[in-house]
Amino acid sequence: MDYRKIGGLILSLRKEKGLTQRQLAECLNVSDKAISKWERGMGCPDVSLLPSIAEIFGVDLESILKGTLSENAIEGGNMKKLKFYVCPTCGNFITGISEASISCCGKKLAPLVAKKAQESEKLSVEHIENDYFISSDHPMTKEHYISFVALLTGDSVMIRKQYPEWDLSTRIPRFGHGILYWHCVDHGLFYQPV
């Protein structure tokens, strides 16, 4: 741990929030002299205070310990680079168009790597009126099922949550050609063009 970097980060985050040293000290139940000491790199907050500091400033604990906030490059909103993150514990799924530090249930999540579906793995996609009707005979048991289906086009994404013990059959508005993604809780993320 580099005390100067941590102190510099606390100083910049405090000023960004518009807090005085005294106000921050009151939030943490420490003296304003302690805040001054940290910001000058002459010491470091006690480990028990770090979660509170992270919460006050709305940053993650790891950033406080590193003493830096890492910013992502601006992607320009290119949906073709959409990343899917799925929590192995609770099944929560999250998307992002650029790299992100995402955690759920206390675990850091890595973006899933999509595999191109083989012919036998592909979902059935039919054109019905102005929709894609998506279905599959994939098992939908509590232990093995497809958790979501997503249609990704050049500028948008439509996600349909799926549930175990329900048949996989859903309609997604046909708003252009794109890529159909789906996530099997046992085998991972797949895609096929539509």
Domains of the chain (ranges; CATH) run 3-66 (1.10.260.40), 79-193 (2.60.40.730)
pLDDT band at residue 160 using 50, 70 and 90 as cut-offs: very high
**In whole numbers, what is the pLDDT of the chain averaged over residues?**
92
8 Å CB contact between 97 and 78: yes
pLDDT of residue 73: 64
Residue 149 has pLDDT above 90, yes or no: yes
Residue 158, amino acid: M
Q: DSSP states of 17-44 as a string?
A: HT--HHHHHHHHTS-HHHHHHHHTTS--
pLDDT band at residue 112 using 50, 70 and 90 as cut-offs: very high
Between CA 116 and CA 56 the distance in angstroms is: 43
Strand order in the sheet with 157-161: 115-116, 188-193, 179-184, 146-152, 157-161
Rounded to 5°, the CA angle 73-79-82 comes to 75
Between CA 132 and CA 192 the distance in angstroms is: 13
Give the pairing of strands 115-116 and 188-193: parallel
Paired tokens of 19: 């807090």
Length of the chain equals: 194
pLDDT in tens, 52-63: 999 999 998 888
Between CA 150 and CA 180 the distance in angstroms is: 6
Please give the torsion angle defined by the CA atoms of residues 32, 37, 40 and 44, in that order, rounded to the nearest 10 degrees.
-120
The alpha carbon of residue 122 and the mean position of all alpha carbons in its chain are separated, in whole angstroms, by 26
8 Å CB contact between 138 and 122: no
pLDDT in tens, 73-91: 666 667 788 999 999 999 9
Q: Which residues are CB-neighbours of 47 under 8 A, at least 6 positions away?
A: none
Q: Which residues are CB-neighbours of 12 under 8 A, at least 6 positions away?
A: none
